[in-house]
Amino acid sequence: MKHQEKIFALVDINNCYVSCERFFNPKLNDVPVIVLSNNDGCAVARSNEAKAMGIKMGVPLFQIKDVVQKNNVQVLSSNYAIYAEMSRRFHSILAGYVAPHEQEIYSIDECFLDLTSFKNNYDLVEYCQGMRERIQQWIGLPVSIGIGRSKTEAKIANHMAKKGKRFNGVCDLANMNPKHREYFWSLVEVGEVWGVGRKQNKKLNDMGINTVLDLAKSNPPIMGKLFTVCMQRTVLELQGVSCMPIDDQPKPKQQIVASRSFGEKITELDDLKEAMSKYVQDAVKRLRSEKLLCGVITAFVQSNPFDASVPYYSKTQVYKFAEPVDCVLDLVDVTYGLLDKIYKPGIKYKKCGVFLSELIEKSSHIPDLLSDHEVRSLNENLMQAYEDIQAKHGKAKISVGPCYFKHRKWSMSRDMLSKNYFSKNGLIKVK
DNA sequence: TCTGGGGTCCTAGGACCC
DNA sequence: TCTGGGGTCCTAGGACCC
């Protein structure tokens, strides 16, 4: 029986955005650092020093002004160009350790590996320590690795690897003496379990389930009845039964969202249109890079939900295309029409955006016999030219509307942005 | 003054059908 | 006056993830 047991590892970059910034600017080492969300709104990444000062994940910057000033915390705007490139390198190093079907790129800073085929011939802890060293040496990023009999257990192991100094960055729960495992799990709050969010945490606590150990000892079918099938799977996974295989080929996207809060509130329809044209172009870029067509587009506008002095205004409008499209002109045109319907004068808008949904693969789409073939082919040529020019000369050279010009009213604020250390060809710039 | 953005999955409930 | 039961599909909203 034992030989059928699966083994998973979860490799996770410690304080990802902070670590990326530190790699390029070593002055940030050993001092408290936080990285902000878009518009410099909330702290979304914190160095260990910043965490130790009690700065919580997702807290708005204005609420921690005092602690930031008093401790001279280094504050940075987020620089996604850098994080995306570092992430690509991280995942490609890990790809060198396993077969393609054994790697799941879970997020920008997390990767699941199926190590089942290694467990009989390798000391897995040693093997994973090798990965840590290589990632540190090659791209300068610190990582933690958790090993478990299921993905959920690997997640918990990763959490323990981060918290417990004794593990030296690699925690193996699969090979741990069950008594020791139970001891550790009695110390970890149930809210740390993958899939247990705020609501379920509270419900579990009300039932007397407070630690990971409590949850692991619960009865899967009963928990499935009281919660959902996901909870049932989670409990099984904690009991060492793997229910979630490695997903090495993620399903094609089901929706694409492009939206932003504005740097300052805007009221004019023309400004909204300008911002919206940018989000549509961002969305179309992703749509086409995945070789998809869009069947439905939804536009939305919102005022500031935190402003209690005026009623919250939020409106959406949907449009379904007779024939799915990927031409930026069609999509911007329709979006302007939707915006006319949801725009109300006198509102201070804080955010707007679009959803593209009912996405289908371009290659599998058979165009309607009655649709205009010539127009479609002209549109495709136009899109090709538009993309070529943007790639060669930058986005501002050709676009729908002036949205790529600098310093628009609605542009987001990023006052503490680090440099872009990568050149266009992906190499690191040398000063 | 100041509160991110991009996703997925599940469930409940209504409409409709036989 | 009687007013079942089972099935499917769709949608809105909730919960969760990073």
In this structure, what token pair is assigned to residue A363?
A: 């290659």
A146 CA, B14 C1': separation in Å?
Answer: 45
A194 touches strand C (CB under 7 A): yes
* Residue-level pLDDT at A3: 46
Residue nearest to nucleotide B3 (CA to C1'): A60
Contacts (Cβ under 8 Å, ≥6 apart) of A131? A11, A93, A94, A97, A143, A145
A232 CA, B18 C1': separation in Å?
Answer: 35
Give strand B nucleotides closer than 7 A to any protein Cβ: 1-11
C-beta within 7 A of nucleic chain C, residues 151-180 of A = 155
Looking across all nucleic acid strands, the nucleotide with the smallest C1' to CA distance from residue A357 is B7
Residue nearest to nucleotide C17 (CA to C1'): A195
Give strand C nucleotides closer than 7 A to any protein Cβ: 14-18
A431 CA, C4 C1': separation in Å?
Answer: 79
A274 CA, B2 C1': separation in Å?
Answer: 24
Half-sphere CA count of A138, side-chain side, radius 13 A: 17
A110 touches strand C (CB under 7 A): yes
* Residue-level pLDDT at A425: 64
Rounded Cα distance, A214 and A234, in Å:
13
* Residue-level pLDDT at A93: 98
Spans of chain A, pLDDT less than 50: 3, 431
Q: How far is CA A327 from CA A1, A280, A300, A324, A367, in A?
A: 55, 10, 20, 10, 15
Rounded Cα distance, A182 and A173, in Å:
10
Rounded Cα distance, A362 and A339, in Å:
27
A106 touches strand C (CB under 7 A): yes
Q: How far is CA A207 from CA A215, A231, A377, in A?
A: 11, 14, 61
Looking across all nucleic acid strands, the nucleotide with the smallest C1' to CA distance from residue A16 is C18
Q: What is the pLDDT of residues A310-330, one digit of tens each?
A: 998 999 999 999 899 999 999
* Residue-level pLDDT at A430: 54
Tell how strand A43-46 and strand A256-266 pair up. Answer: unpaired
Amino acid at A396: A
- H helices of A72-177, in order, are 80-95, 124-139, 151-163
* Residue-level pLDDT at A429: 66
Q: Give the CA radius of gyration of chain A.
A: 25
* Residue-level pLDDT at A340: 94
Rounded Cα distance, A236 and A215, in Å:
10
A186 CA, B4 C1': separation in Å?
Answer: 34
Residues near strand B (C-beta below 7 A) are A 37-39, 41-42, 44, 58, 60-62, 228-230, 251, 253-261, 265, 282, 286, 304, 306-307, 350-351, 353, 412
Q: How far is CA A294 from CA A253, A316, A355, A384, in A?
A: 11, 18, 10, 17
The predicted model scores a pTM of 0.93
